[in-house]
Amino acid sequence: MAKKDLIQVMIKPVSSSCNMDCAYCFYKDEERNRSEKTCKRISDDVIDALLSRLESSCINAHLMFQGGEPTLASLDFYKSLLEKEKSIAPDVTFYHSFQTNGLLIDDKWASFFHDNNFLVGLSFDGGVRINDIYRLDSDKNETSRRVLKSALILERNQVRFNVLVVVTKEVADNVNYVWQSMISHNFLFQQYIPVLPPLSGEKREYELDWQSYLEFLKKLFDFWFESLKTDYVSIRLFEDMMDTFLGFAPESCELRGKCGKNYVLEADGSVYPCDFYCLDEYCLGSILTSSFSDLDKKRKEIGFCTVNSWKKCNDDKCYMPGCFGGCKRYHDKDGSYFYCQTFRDFTPYMFSRVKPLLDTIRNTFGSSMSFTQYLLEYNRDRR
């Protein structure tokens, strides 16, 4: 069998273990709903099995480390893993990314990330006042000042990093404050992800409604679009939508209308199809006993497919090209997408404002230039 070009594996090296106790943590919620808890550090046997299977299955591998908090595995763990990559999977080219709450980041960690070309995601909910509502450490202490210190350490060591904001109702209601805070800290690479409701379906005070998310997106877009005149501020959702308007396939699965063929590796070796679905009924097998082909077969058996996974909305009032109704974890029990009306209203609002820029890109570059490429070229020329 020919090797795949790329396999992406999200690794949970310490499962849901964490030095923070975020009120909205979806992964601790998932762990509570599994029959087997896996709060331990991943073993050498699991890592060796993963690397061996990657060596026989692919040319390139993207390893994404998340948690819980992946720094709890220790820096020596990652140094050892990179050495094992060379010895167990010498024919694979590896790429690495790392999502952290930042509490343990120091110059040693930052130097390691820089020297090994890790892309780092730093979790911070926009501003000190809002971040410290829900993102407290395990002793219930505020975390903002430590996270901002970590950002300075990453910046000083020239680490590539973006800032991930979980959009709670407080974030949505304070978009001006969040934007100004992000810009004041020079966080020019930003991601915004709507908070997930608990699996129980119980309503929580941090949850968004479609109207507040709509107003948030409109205001955030206005700030972002205005910023393009002076700074290169990257917001993944807006760039992805711009690429969709230009006829390119979006990067994010919620806009593609299908799940990517990803693998989430838990600390005990169990494998799941998505970070949002690390639940018993979605377990694909164990990396200790299953090949990637076996895992893919199980994915198909349980109906977690990669083509047209979710219901397509055929409503002619929906302006989003290729939208299949968002990520399934943002659907209620009857299958309705929480934010259908949000994007039904937001997409034409955005499109009407960006159309002159889209026309300029098409007229200048034809159909060969994505918006992401355009931004890189535009800012390179401007410098």
> Roughly how many angstroms between the first and final C-alpha of the chain, as a whole number?
47
Structure-token pair, residue 66 = 């998340």
Q: Count other Cβ atoms within 10 Å, centred on residue 230.
A: 8
Q: How far apart are CA 29 and CA 178, in angstroms?
A: 26
Structure-token pair, residue 222 = 């206005």
- Provide CB contacts within 8 A for 242, sequence distance 6+: 354, 358, 371
Structure-token pair, residue 176 = 């001006």
Backbone dihedral region of 213: left (phi > 0), alpha (psi from -120 to 50 degrees) or beta? alpha
Q: Is 296 a catalytic residue?
A: no
The half-sphere exposure of 111 on its side-chain side, counting CA atoms within 13 A, is: 4
Burial class of 275 by CB neighbour count within 10 A (0 to 12, 13 to 18, 19+): middle
Q: Judge whether 244 and 321 are in contact, CB under 8 Å.
A: yes
Q: Judge whether 228 and 182 are in contact, CB under 8 Å.
A: no
Q: How far apart are CA 99 and CA 79, in angstroms?
A: 17
Beta-bridge partner residues of 121: 99, 162
Q: In what order do the strands lie in the sheet containing 58-65?
A: 234-235, 189-194, 160-167, 119-123, 93-100, 58-65, 4-11, 263-265, 270-272, 285-286
- Provide CB contacts within 8 A for 268, sequence distance 6+: 15, 36, 38, 40, 42, 46, 286
Single out the catalytic residue among 275, 294, 296, 345. 275
- Residues marked active site are found at 275
